[in-house]
Amino acid sequence: MTAMKQYRIKPGKAVSLDDYDPDDTGGYDDKHDLKKKTEKLVVRLGELQELLYAEHEHKVLIALQGMDTSGKDGTVRHVMEGFNPQGVRVASFKKPTEPELERDYLWRVHAQVPAKGEVVVFNRSHYEDVLVVRVHDLVPETRWRQRYAQINEFERMLTENGTVILKFFLHISRDEQKKRLEERISDPTKRWKFQHGDIEERKLWNDYQKAYEDALERTSTKWAPWYIVPANAKWYRNHLVATVIADALADLKMKYPEPDLAGVIVE
């Protein structure tokens, strides 16, 4: 875990995304060698997730945030491919429905948090309510600024009740986003992902960067840390996220429960 601490945001630390290189690969030059290591790590993750499900004590919440094309879907697909579907869910928070708008903004989020033995991945999360909401001026500034403290307390409550929270900001450059958007348009197998709104959101790049900086700075806590993941190199992104999750699961010191075999006879 020590090598990953450089990507973990210390509570209260001022965050400037310009200080984090999205091309960083942690000193690894041979991506094929690291991919092999990641493959082994993914197998280990599958074993740890099975143990988590069997022990049925802990809960794990993984939040993935990032600009469009930053690789949220790809991270889920590559890092968690060894997970047993029985013990994992992916939840995504898009534009709120009318019933959701009638309630507080965390109501729909709380309904999706993990149960005992479960891993839940938020592919976009409650942080949209201090990101999109802020950039598009959907609520008054006084209201979205209150949400940093509210989110911190919400996450504290979850951790005090047995939930491990890991939050990853997938950090790509503006040039890399342009490249990936162009690939979506030109590749028939990716074209379905493209939406005209992606271009409009791209025009707000600087506003989103500032919103992310404030969110990372104000909501990276001891109990629910943020990791800024350099994500231009997908292979390094996958390795870093897999390493952090595997280390966090291993730290739980989980054990398989002892079955009650009293009186059991196999004939």
Q: What is the pLDDT of residues 202-224, one digit of tens each?
A: 999 999 999 999 999 999 999 99
| Site of tokens 């595997």 | 246
Q: Per-residue pLDDT tens for 29-71?
A: 889 999 999 999 999 999 999 999 999 999 999 999 999 999 9
CB atoms < 10 A from the CB of 259, how many? 7
Q: Residue 248: pLDDT above 50?
A: yes
Task: Say what the alpha-carbon torsion angle 29, 34, 167, 124 is, to the nearest 10 degrees.
Answer: 90
Work out the average pLDDT over 106-117.
97
pLDDT of residue 157: 98
- Long-range pairs for 34-43: beta carbons < 8 A, 24 or more residues apart: 34/235, 34/236, 34/239, 35/235, 35/239, 37/239, 38/78, 38/235, 38/238, 38/239, 38/242, 41/239, 41/242, 41/243, 41/246, 42/78, 42/79, 42/80, 42/81, 42/82, 42/242, 43/82
Token duo for residue 145: 């600024």
Give residue 1's pLDDT band: very low, low, confident or very high (50, 70, 90).
very low
pLDDT of residue 3: 59
Top-confidence residue, 85 or 227: 227
**Would you say 246 and 45 are in contact if contact means Cβ atoms under 8 Å apart?**
yes
Residues near 133 by beta carbon (within 8 Å), at least 6 away in sequence: 139, 144
| Site of tokens 């209201």 | 143
Top-confidence residue, 79 or 191: 79
pLDDT of residue 263: 66
Helices (H), ranges, 56-131: 72-79, 98-101, 107-110
Give residue 148's pLDDT band: very low, low, confident or very high (50, 70, 90).
very high
Token duo for residue 246: 């595997």
Give residue 262's pLDDT band: very low, low, confident or very high (50, 70, 90).
low
CA distance 243 to 52: 17
pTM for the whole structure: 0.93
CB-neighbour burial class of residue 140 (10 A; exposed 0-12, middle 13-18, buried 19+): exposed
Work out the average pLDDT over 109-130.
96
CA distance 170 to 175: 15
Backbone torsions φ then ψ of 8, nearest 5 degrees: -90, 130
Token duo for residue 250: 């291993």
Q: Residue 135: pLDDT above 70?
A: yes
Give residue 106's pLDDT band: very low, low, confident or very high (50, 70, 90).
very high
Give residue 2's pLDDT band: very low, low, confident or very high (50, 70, 90).
very low
**Would you say 224 and 59 are in contact if contact means Cβ atoms under 8 Å apart?**
no
CA distance 145 to 139: 10
Q: Domains of the chain by range and CATH?
A: 2-250 (3.40.50.300)
Mean pLDDT of the chain: 93
Top-confidence residue, 252 or 260: 252
**Would you say 62 and 122 are in contact if contact means Cβ atoms under 8 Å apart?**
yes
| Site of tokens 């709380």 | 110
